[in-house]
Amino acid sequence: MTSYDLILRGGACVLPWGVETTDVGVREGRIAALGDLRTAHAANEVDCRGLHVLPGLIDAHVHLRDPGDPAVEDLSHGTRGALLGGLTAVFDMPNTAPSITDRERLDWKRGYLDGRAWVDVGIYVGASMRNIGELASLELQPNVCAVKVFAGSSTGDLLVADDASLEAVMRSGRRRICYHSEDEYRLQERKPQFTSGMPHRNHMVWRDVECAFLGTRRLMALARRTGRPAHILHVSTAEELDHLRDFRDLCTVEVLLNHLTQTDEAYDRLGGYAVMNPPIRDERHMRAAWAAVADGTVDVVGSDHAPHSRAAKERPWPDCAAGLTGVQTIVPLMLDHVSAGRLSLSRLVDLMCAGPARVYGATGKGRLAAGYDADFTIVDMKKQRTIEESWIVSPCGWTPFAGHACTGWPVMAILRGEVAMREDEVIGAPRGQAVRFAEARG
Ligand code: DOR
C-alpha cells in the first residue's frame, strides 16, 4: 500500500486549473500526490470534507519591526499572528530600527528567524542613498525577496526621492524592484498647508491622488528608460491603475486589503487608527481597485501590516503614526469578500499564492501541485466569526477591523507538511524558515 506522511482527504482543493474535490498526499514536506488516495495510508490524516484546501497563503507586505520596539511588534509575535490568521509565509519589510540595508544585517535577520518564526519569511533589503552601488549584489543574497525603495517618505528613514538616484537604483541589479510610490516633492511642498490637530481625513488631502499618480508616472518613465522590472506596492488610486495598464510588460501591481475594504468614512470612525500611507481614499478609488482585481490588473493583495503603539496612533494628526495592523486579519477579510461575491476563491489564491510567487520568483510556493512545498491554508467558508481586538497577537494590541463580522475563516494551516495551526491554536514550536527565491543565491 502506498504510504504518505500526511493525507488531506476530500477537501475542495483550489488547484491552478480549477477547484476539484480530491485528496492530497504529502511526503517529506512536499506535495507528493493529488487524486483519489482511498487505498493509500498515512501517519496523519485530516478530514477536509466540507472545507476548501488552498495553497498556503502568502502576505508579501508586512512590517514585523524587528529590530525595533518589542512592546509594539516583533518577528515572533507578528508571525504567530500570521499563522493564527491563516498565512504560511510573509515577506518582511526593511524599515526597521536600524533598517536592513547591508549584508551584515541581512545575515543577522536570516539567522534570527531560526526558532522564532512561526511561518516562512522572505526578506526585503532596503535601498538608501548610501547603498545604491551595492544593491546589485544585495538583491542576490539568499532569501531576499526584493529591493524595497521608498520613493516617498513614510515610517523610518529610508528614502530615495530624486530621478537621478532612482535611475541609479534601477541600473544597479536586475531583479524586480518594489516601490513605495508617492511623490516626495509634492508631499513636502504641501505639508505647510496643514497644521497639528486638523481632522484626520486631511491625510488623504495632503497625500492626495496627484501625489500618488505623479510618483507612479515618474517611476514608470524611469522603468521604461532603464528596462528594469518594477512592482508598485499599495496602488491606491484609479488614476495609477489606469496608467499602469500601459506598463504591464514591465510592471506588476499590488493593492492592499485596506484599500479594498475601507473608504474615507473610516477617518471619522477610527481617527488616527485609519491613518496609513498611501491613505485610505473615497469610494471611487475602492471601486477602481475592485475593477482592477476583476480585470487582472492586480497581481498581489497584501496587508501592509504596520504596527504602531496606541500612544503613537492617538497623537493629533499629522503627528500620529501612519500604518495599520493587518497580518492576522487579511485572510478572514478576503474570505469575507469572497463570500460577498467580490472575487472567487481561485482569484484569491491567484492574488495571495501564485501572484506573490510569480512577482518575487519564490520557489516551491504558491501552487497546489506535486513537488511544491506542502503549505496549505484550510478554510471553512460557512464559518461566521467576528474579528475581536482581544484576538490580536501583536503586542500593540489593536486592529482597525474590530467588530467586523466575517463569513469564511481559516481553520487550519499546514507548514511544509506539519499542522501548525488548528482552530485558533498554534501547534508545536516555531518552524518557519527563510523563503527561497530563484534569482537569489541559496
Ligand atoms: O502606513 C504605512 N506604514 N505605510 C508605509 O509605507 C510604512 C508603514 C510603516 O512602516 O509604518
Mean pLDDT of 283-298: 98
Q: Is the CB of 325 under 6 A from ligand 1?
A: no
Q: Which tens digits make up the pLDDT trace of 78-88?
A: 999 999 999 99
Catalytic residue among 66, 102, 304, 375: 304
Q: Would you say 198 and 270 are in contact if contact means Cβ atoms under 8 Å apart?
A: no
- Is residue 226, in this structure, part of any structural domain at all? yes
One domain for residues 110 and 157: yes
Specify the ligand 1 atom closest to the Cα of 275. 1
Q: Is the CB of 95 under 6 A from ligand 1?
A: yes
Mean model confidence pLDDT for the chain: 98
Q: Which tens digits make up the pLDDT trace of 308-342?
A: 999 999 999 999 999 999 999 999 999 999 999 99
Ligand 1 centroid to residue 127 C-alpha, Å: 15
One domain for residues 21 and 103: no
Print the domain residue range for 41. Answer: 3-53+373-383+402-426
Q: Is the CB of 306 under 6 A from ligand 1?
A: yes
One domain for residues 28 and 79: no
Mean pLDDT of 266-292: 98
One domain for residues 16 and 69: no
- Is residue 172, in this structure, part of any structural domain at all? yes
- Is residue 252, in this structure, part of any structural domain at all? yes
DSSP β-ladder status, 177-180 and 57-62: unpaired
Q: Is the CB of 181 under 6 A from ligand 1?
A: no
- Is residue 289, in this structure, part of any structural domain at all? yes
One domain for residues 42 and 77: no
One domain for residues 21 and 132: no
Give dist(CA 217, CA 221) in Å, integer: 6
Last residue of a domain, one of 302, 327, 360: 360
CATH number for 29:
2.30.40.10
Q: Is the CB of 26 under 6 A from ligand 1?
A: no
One domain for residues 158 and 106: yes
One domain for residues 15 and 67: no
- Is residue 177, in this structure, part of any structural domain at all? yes
Q: What angle do CA 77, 383, 63 make, to 5 degrees?
A: 25
Residue percentage of the chain with pLDDT more than 90? 99
Q: Would you say 436 and 143 are in contact if contact means Cβ atoms under 8 Å apart?
A: yes
Has residue 396 got a pLDDT over 70?
Answer: yes
Q: For a pocket test of ligand 1, which of 69, 150, 304, 317 has the largest count of ligand atoms closer than 8 A to its C-beta?
A: 304
Has residue 268 got a pLDDT over 80?
Answer: yes
Give dist(CA 56, CA 61) in Å, integer: 15
- Is residue 395, in this structure, part of any structural domain at all? no
Look at the chain and report how many structural domains it folds into. Answer: 2
Q: Is 208 a catalytic residue?
A: no
DSSP β-ladder status, 251-256 and 230-232: parallel
Specify the ligand 1 atom closest to the Cα of 180. 6
Q: Which tens digits make up the pLDDT trace of 409-433?
A: 999 999 999 999 999 999 999 999 9
Mean pLDDT of 1-12: 96
pLDDT band at 1 (very low <50, low <70, confident <90, very high): confident
Q: For a pocket test of ligand 1, which of 59, 63, 273 has the largest count of ligand atoms closer than 8 A to its C-beta?
A: 63
Mean pLDDT of 105-116: 98
Measured by CA distance, the residue closest to atom 4 of ligand 1 is: 277
DSSP string, 272-333: GGG--SSPP--HHHHHHHHHHHHTT---EEE--B----HHHHTSPTTTSPP-B--TTTHHHH
CATH number for 265:
3.20.20.140
Residue burial 375-388, b: 16+ Cβ < 10 Å; e: rest: bbbbbbbeeebebe
Measured by CA distance, the residue closest to atom 3 of ligand 1 is: 323
One domain for residues 44 and 139: no
pLDDT score recorded for residue 442: 66
- Is residue 208, in this structure, part of any structural domain at all? yes
Q: Is the CB of 148 under 6 A from ligand 1?
A: no
One domain for residues 111 and 125: yes
Q: Is the CB of 415 under 6 A from ligand 1?
A: no
One domain for residues 116 and 29: no
Q: Which tens digits make up the pLDDT trace of 149-199?
A: 999 999 999 999 999 999 999 999 999 999 999 999 999 999 999 999 999
Give dist(CA 88, CA 134) in Å, integer: 31
- Is residue 115, in this structure, part of any structural domain at all? yes
Ligand 1 centroid to residue 208 C-alpha, Å: 16
One domain for residues 45 and 191: no
